[in-house]
Amino acid sequence: MSTDDLPSGYQQVDSSADPDALLEAMEVTAAWPATVDLRSWERDRLALAGGERLLDVGCGLGEAARALAVDLGATGEVLGLDTSTAMLARARTDWDVECPAHFALGDAMALGVPSGSFDAARAERVLQWLPDPRSALTELARVLRAGGRVSLIDTDWGSLRLDIGDEALTSAVQRTMAVERHRPSRVGRRLADLAEAAGFRDVETTQATQVWSDWDPDRSPAPDGCFSMRDLADDMVEAGELDAADLEGFVAAAQDAARNGRFTMSLTMHAVVGTR
Ligand SMILES: C[S@@+](CC[C@H](N)C(=O)[O-])C[C@H]1O[C@@H](n2cnc3c(N)ncnc32)[C@H](O)[C@@H]1O
């Protein structure tokens, strides 16, 4: 699949229809309990020491690197790379810890930094936007020193389960999301395999499930930090799981269920750490 085949989204933030919305969604998703849990697990496993160098690939707003940088202290160093100037600008503005940081344009699949130059490297929710996640793992392995640690966090969108009291719709959503179209949307479940294939050892894994049960459709078209029910319906139509004529009915049914306290949606995210 070429990059041209990918739909717009986080692979081209700056030229997307609404970059501010993509930045705002990063703030919201950083507060998901599942994200908080996985970042906490990652921090324990990486056990960064004062003076070490951390690379954050696809760093976004840089808030995860900021929390880890507390462990690096004033003698440590962070490099955040991202393809979005808007993300990088916010990461620079928000940096408020003593550890020095540098944020620069960079591509996960061709990092452009010297081999063996980092003690730890992470990529969170980035692989799912890449045409070739394996090349990103090859690069992460290349830039780490021997004994360096890698951390990956990503989503398995195929795990999305929607319950609005209609089993047929639940199944149609599952079938829609089970198939990767346009991008590696299920890469979360493959993180350990990718890390091992890239030569990492002592690979440890965990997962966390994000649950939405208090979506207010009169306040927002989407559950917090997620895509809208209309976008989901569009996907279902594209996947042949919903007739175009039934699209509005699907959105209305999801909204009605939410208004009546019968809306539940869940999504599983995965995390992996390994040693170079
Ligand atoms: C969903 S966001 C995740 C941001 C951050 N890692 C986090 O978890 O909060 C995906 C990020 O990857 C960046 N990105 C997309 N394609 C990239 C690439 N080829 N190389 C580096 N960064 C990329 C986007 O600009 C965006 O900031």
Residue 123: its H or E element:
strand 118-124
Q: Report the distance separating Cα 51 and Cα 74, nearest Å.
A: 7
CA of 39 to the centre of ligand 1 (A): 16
**Ligand 1: lining residues by beta carbon, under 6 Å:** 10-11, 13, 26, 30, 57-60, 64, 81-84, 87, 107-109, 124-126, 129-130
Residue 261's pLDDT is 95
Full set of structural domains in the chain with CATH = 3-275 (3.40.50.150)
Nearest Cα residue to atom 10 of ligand 1: 126
Task: Using alpha carbons, select from 130, 221, 106, 241 the residue that is nearest to residue 175.
Answer: 241
CA dihedral 167, 170, 176, 180 (to 10 degrees): -130
Q: How far is the CA of 58 from the centre of ligand 1 (A)?
A: 4
HSE at residue 266, side-chain half, CA atoms within 13 A, is 10
- The pLDDT value recorded for residue 8 is 52
Note whether 96 and 58 are within 8 A (CB). Answer: no
- The pTM of the full predicted model, rounded to 2 decimals, is 0.95
Distance of alpha carbon 125 from alpha carbon 58, whole angstroms: 8
Q: Please give the distance, rounded to the nearest whole angstrom, from the Cα atom of residue 206 to the centre of ligand 1.
A: 21
Distance between Cα 248 and ligand 1 center (Å) = 32
In the block, tokens 């976004």 appear at: 60
How many angstroms separate the CA atoms of 81 and 160, rounded? 29
Q: Which amino acid would we find at residue 182?
A: H
Determine the 3-state secondary structure of 258 from DSSP.
helix
Could you list the pLDDT tens digit for every one of the 276 residues in the chain? 333 333 458 989 999 989 999 999 999 999 999 999 999 999 999 999 999 999 999 999 999 999 999 999 999 999 999 999 999 999 999 999 999 999 999 999 999 999 999 999 999 999 999 999 999 999 999 999 999 999 999 999 999 999 999 999 999 999 999 999 889 999 999 999 999 999 999 999 999 999 999 999 999 989 998 989 999 999 999 999 999 999 999 999 999 999 999 999 999 999 999 999
Distance, in Å, from the CA atom of 56 to the CA atom of 58, rounded to the nearest integer, reads 6
* 29: CB partners within 8 A, 6+ apart: 35, 125, 225
